Structure 1
Amino acid sequence: MAIVHQKDKRSGITYAYESTSYWVKELKQSRSKRVLIGRVDDVTGEIIPTDGRVRNKLVVEAKAEVLPKRSFYGATYLFDCIGKRLGITSALKTIFPQSYRQILSIVYFLLLEDRTALSRFAKWSHTHHHPFGKDIPSQRSSELFAAVEESHRQQFFSILKKRKVDGEYWAYDTTSISSYSQQLKQVKYGKNKEHDKLPQINLALVFGSTSQLPYYYRQLAGNIPDSKTLSPLLNDLRDAGYEKVSLVLDRGFYSKENIDALYKEHLKFLMSVSMGLKFLRNNLEPLYDGFRSFDHYNSAYELYHHSVRTTWDYEQVRPYKNDVISEERRIYIHYFFNIDKAAEDEKAFDLQLITLRDELESGKRVPEHEKQYTKYFTITSTPKRGTKAAVIPEAVAKAKRYHGFFALISNQKMDAIEALQLYRNKEVVEKAFNDLKDRLGMRRTLVSSQKSLEGKLFVQFIALIYVSYIKKKMQDGNLFSSYSIQSLLDTLDVIDCVQMPGKRLRCGELLEKQKVIYEKLGFSPPSSL
Structure 2
Amino acid sequence: MKLSYYIRNNIEYAKIPGKSVRSNGSVHKEGEVYLGRVIDKAHNVFCSRERGTFTYDPETRTYGSASETYSSELKDDGRRKAKVLLDFGDAFLVDALLTKMHYSEVLDAISYRNRDTLYAMIEYYTLNDKANDHALTWYEGSYASILYPNANLTSQRISDFLASIGKMENLSAFFDAHIAWVKKYATDDPAVLIDSTGLPNSIHFPLTAISNHNGKISREVRMTTILQRDSGYPLMFRINPGNIVDCSTLTRSVNEAIERGLKVDMAIIDAGYCTKPNIDELYGAHIEWLTRLPETHKVWKQMIQKESDDLRSKGHLVKYLDRYVYIKRVPIKVGTASQYEAYAFLGYDVERAADETRKVTAAAQKKKMSAEQLSERLDKVGYFVIVTSLCYTEEDILPAYYTRQLVEQYFDIDKGISNLTPLRIHHEEALRGHLLLSMIASTINVYVQKQTKKLATDREELFMSLRNQKCIVYKSKILTSEAQKKANEFYNGFDITCPISIDRSGDKLKPQYQLPEIDVDEA
Q: Same fold, TM exceeding 0.5? A: yes
SS, match of residue 220 in structure 1: strand
Using the alignment, how far apart are the partners of 1:31 and 1:407 within structure 2?
64
What residue is the counterpart of 2:349 in the other structure?
338
What residue is the counterpart of 1:495 in the other structure?
469
Residue range with higher mean Cα deviation, 160-169 or 118-127: 160-169
What residue is the counterpart of 2:291 in the other structure?
271
Using the alignment, how far apart are the partners of 1:524 and 1:418 within structure 2?
43
CA contact (8 A) 1:497 1:505 kept: yes
- The reply on whether 1:76 has 2:91 as its aligned counterpart is yes
Pairwise CA distance, 1:69 = 6.3
For residues 162-201 of structure 1, the C-alpha deviation after alignment (integer angstroms, 9 at most, x for no partner) is: 314344743322222222212x111111125795x65211
- The reply on whether 1:178 has 2:170 as its aligned counterpart is no
Pairwise CA distance, 1:287 = 5.1
Higher relative contact order (CA 8 A, sep 6+): 1
Change (3 A) 1:169 1:85: farther
Pairwise CA distance, 1:447 = 1.9
State the superposition RMSD in angstroms.
4.4
Which 5+ residue runs of structure 2 have no aligned equivalent?
Answer: 4-9, 18-26, 46-64, 503-510, 512-523
Letter aligned with residue 469 of structure 2: I
Aligned residues: 446
- The reply on whether 1:515 has 2:488 as its aligned counterpart is yes
Percent identity (aligned): 17
Change (3 A) 1:311 1:159: same
- Give the one of 403, 426, 443 matched to 1:425: 403
Change (3 A) 1:27 1:522: farther
What is the 5 A alignment of 1:182-221?
182=204, 184-191=205-212, 195=216, 198-221=218-241
Using the alignment, how far apart are the partners of 1:212 and 1:238 within structure 2?
18
Pairwise CA distance, 1:31 = 9.3
- Give the one of 148, 152, 165 matched to 2:170: 152
Residue range with higher mean Cα deviation, 301-310 or 336-345: 336-345
- The reply on whether 1:477 has 2:498 as its aligned counterpart is no
Pairwise CA distance, 1:251 = 1.6
Using the alignment, how far apart are the partners of 1:106 and 1:38 within structure 2?
30
Which 5+ residue runs of structure 1 have no aligned equivalent?
Answer: 1-5, 7-17, 48-57, 316-326, 359-389
- The reply on whether 1:454 has 2:432 as its aligned counterpart is yes
- The reply on whether 1:138 has 2:149 as its aligned counterpart is no
What is the 5 A alignment of 1:228-307?
228-274=248-294, 277-278=297-298, 288-299=308-319, 300-307=322-329
CA contact (8 A) 1:178 1:444 kept: yes
- The reply on whether 1:119 has 2:133 as its aligned counterpart is yes
For residues 491-514 of structure 1, the C-alpha deviation after alignment (integer angstroms, 9 at most, x for no partner) is: 11233446666x676544334432
Letter aligned with residue 250 of structure 1: D
What residue is the counterpart of 2:24 in the other structure?
none
Using the alignment, how far apart are the partners of 1:337 and 1:36 within structure 2?
70
Pairwise CA distance, 1:94 = 2.7
Change (3 A) 1:181 1:462: same
CA contact (8 A) 1:74 1:526 kept: no
Using the alignment, how far apart are the partners of 1:337 and 1:457 within structure 2?
38
Change (3 A) 1:264 1:350: farther
Using the alignment, how far apart are the partners of 1:194 and 1:77 within structure 2?
45
Change (3 A) 1:246 1:510: same
Using the alignment, how far apart are the partners of 1:225 and 1:471 within structure 2?
32
Pairwise CA distance, 1:33 = 9.4
SS, match of residue 94 in structure 1: coil
Pairwise CA distance, 1:121 = 2.4
Change (3 A) 1:129 1:27: farther
**Which is helix-richer, 1 or 2?**
1
CA contact (8 A) 2:247 2:273 kept: yes
What residue is the counterpart of 1:104 in the other structure?
119
- Give the one of 386, 393, 405 matched to 1:415: 393
CA contact (8 A) 1:227 1:252 kept: yes
SS, match of residue 425 in structure 1: helix
Pairwise CA distance, 1:38 = 5.4
Normalising by structure 2, what TM-score? Answer: 0.71
What is the 5 A alignment of 1:54-65?
none
SS, match of residue 269 in structure 1: strand
CA contact (8 A) 2:232 2:406 kept: yes
Using the alignment, how far apart are the partners of 1:32 and 1:227 within structure 2?
49
CA contact (8 A) 2:90 2:467 kept: yes
SS, match of residue 268 in structure 2: strand
Letter aligned with residue 20 of structure 1: E
Change (3 A) 1:22 1:280: closer
Using the alignment, how far apart are the partners of 2:37 and 2:224 within structure 1?
50
Normalising by structure 1, what TM-score? Answer: 0.70
